[in-house]
């Protein structure tokens, strides 16, 4: 093991010497003018003109020119040995981790505080036993596919991003290495499935999600979260905003994710670094609102989840949360739950 390490160090030293020799030689060949003064005189004779270094200490090339070529890879067509943009990427990534983590923590905190104060929002009039078809089978399949991907990609993404700070204290470095490895593989494998899932979500939920003037009234009444009834059509302002938020961040995640997962398509390192920063920011924004959506759709509001599992909602739930939509579909209310579910499955919603 010791012997292997020694050989590796020796090889690395030889390689570095070789590369720098090449750079020095090629930098002179590629840009011979740099070795001479504008007047065509050799600056190695001790005359310093226009940035050229006297004394030929760097082979007649100034330090700045030397490092410029190291960074650009211009010397002899070699790849860049120092990529300055990587420093900028690091400068962005740190704050993104810090502020991103705080954003997600604050969202979870607000939800917990709201739940502690307000509790579950019950159906005030109680359940009637009468239901109305609300979501088609196609919509529900599109929703749950992206929900499953959200959980897998979200957890694996969080482990990749925050695991070093959160998981190492719990599982140790070796344990975290295993979790990081599985998270990376899961993220890369399931990531591409997210692209068609976003497209399917857009197509199946587009109708009814355009903003209208009466959405302002819903906003003014606090969306009904503070005890005042807020009228709404099939989708309220919050749901519409979440839809467009998910689509826009979903597009950003899809495009930047594909850039990173398909390096074979010829994207440059700089492009992938920008993609990484955008991907991280979009993921945090997507998850922050998504966590709120999950809360509202499950434990936050009684009766909401059924719409997405069975395709039907209770009549009183519809009246209390989507009264304008209920007025349009009141004649479809039925005590025959199975028939209403079948109607929803057929897309008659």
The residue ranges that bind another protein (CB under 8 A) are: 137, 140-141, 144-145, 148-149, 174, 177-178, 181-182, 184-186, 189-190, 192-193, 196, 309-311, 338, 341-342, 344-345
Q: Which residues contact 184 (CB under 8 A, 6 or more apart)?
A: 156, 160
**For another protein, the closer CB: 137 or 247:** 137
Please report how close the Cβ of residue 338 comes to another protein at its closest, in angstroms.
Answer: 7
Q: How far is the CB of 233 from another protein (least distance, A)?
A: 23
- The Cβ-side half-sphere exposure at 37, using a 13 Å CA radius, reads 14
Cβ-proximal residues to 284 (8 Å cutoff; 6+ apart), any chain: 96, 100, 103, 104
What is the nearest approach in angstroms of another protein to the Cβ of residue 343?
Answer: 10
CB 240 within 8 A of CB 215: yes
Structure token pair of residue 174:
């070796």
- In terms of CB distance, is 57 or 309 closer to another protein? 309
> By C-beta, is 104 or 197 nearer to another protein?
197
CB of 134 to another protein, least distance (A): 13
Q: Decide whether 16 or 182 has the Cβ nearer to another protein.
A: 182
Q: Are 322 and 236 in contact (CB under 8 A)?
A: yes
Q: How near is the Cβ of 275 to another protein at its closest, in Å?
A: 20
Shortest spacing between CB 288 and another protein, in angstroms: 25
Which is nearest to 221 in space by CA: 321, 332, 296? 321
Helix residue ranges per DSSP H, 31-53? none
The C-alpha atoms of residue 344 and residue 202 are separated, in whole angstroms, by: 19
Q: Which is nearer to another protein, 131 or 284 (CB)?
A: 131
Which is closer to another protein, CB of 261 or CB of 278?
261
From the CB of residue 134, how many other CB atoms can be counted at a distance below 10 Å? 25
């Amino acid at each position: 093991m010791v012997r292997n390490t020694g050989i590796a160090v020796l090889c690395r030293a030889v390689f570095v010497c070789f590369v720098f020799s090449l750079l020095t030689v090629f930098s002179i060949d590629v840009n011979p003018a740099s070795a001479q003064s504008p007047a065509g005189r050799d600056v190695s004779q001790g005359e310093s003109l226009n940035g050229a270094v006297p004394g030929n200490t760097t082979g007649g090339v100034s330090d700045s020119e030397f490092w410029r070529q190291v960074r650009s890879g211009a010397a002899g067509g070699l790849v860049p040995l120092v990529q300055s943009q990587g420093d900028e990427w690091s400068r962005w990534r740190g704050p993104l981790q810090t502020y991103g983590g705080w954003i997600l923590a604050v969202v979870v905190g607000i939800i917990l505080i709201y739940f502690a104060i307000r509790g579950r929002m019950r159906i005030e009039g109680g359940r009637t036993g009468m239901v109305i078809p609300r979501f088609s089978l196609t919509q529900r399949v599109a929703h749950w596919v992206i929900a499953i991907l959200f959980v897998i990609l979200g957890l694996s993404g969080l482990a990749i991003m925050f695991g070093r700070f959160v998981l190492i204290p719990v599982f140790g470095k070796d344990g975290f290495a295993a979790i990081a490895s599985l998270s990376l593989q899961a993220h890369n494998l399931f990531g591409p499935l997210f692209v068609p899932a976003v497209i399917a979500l857009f197509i199946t939920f587009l109708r009814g999600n355009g903003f209208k003037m009466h959405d302002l009234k819903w906003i003014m009444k606090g969306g009904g979260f503070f005890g005042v009834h807020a009228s709404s059509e099939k989708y309220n302002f919050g749901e519409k905003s979440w839809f467009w938020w998910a689509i826009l961040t979903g597009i950003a995640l899809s495009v930047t994710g594909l850039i990173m997962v398909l390096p074979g398509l010829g994207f440059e390192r700089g492009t992938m670094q920008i993609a990484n920063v955008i991907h991280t920011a979009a993921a945090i924004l997507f998850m922050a609102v998504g966590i709120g959506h999950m809360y509202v759709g499950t434990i936050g509001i009684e009766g909401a989840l059924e719409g997405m599992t069975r395709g039907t909602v209770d009549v009183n739930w519809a009246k209390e949360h989507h009264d304008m939509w209920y007025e349009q579909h009141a004649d479809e209310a039925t005590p025959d739950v199975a028939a209403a579910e079948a109607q929803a499955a057929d897309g008659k919603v």
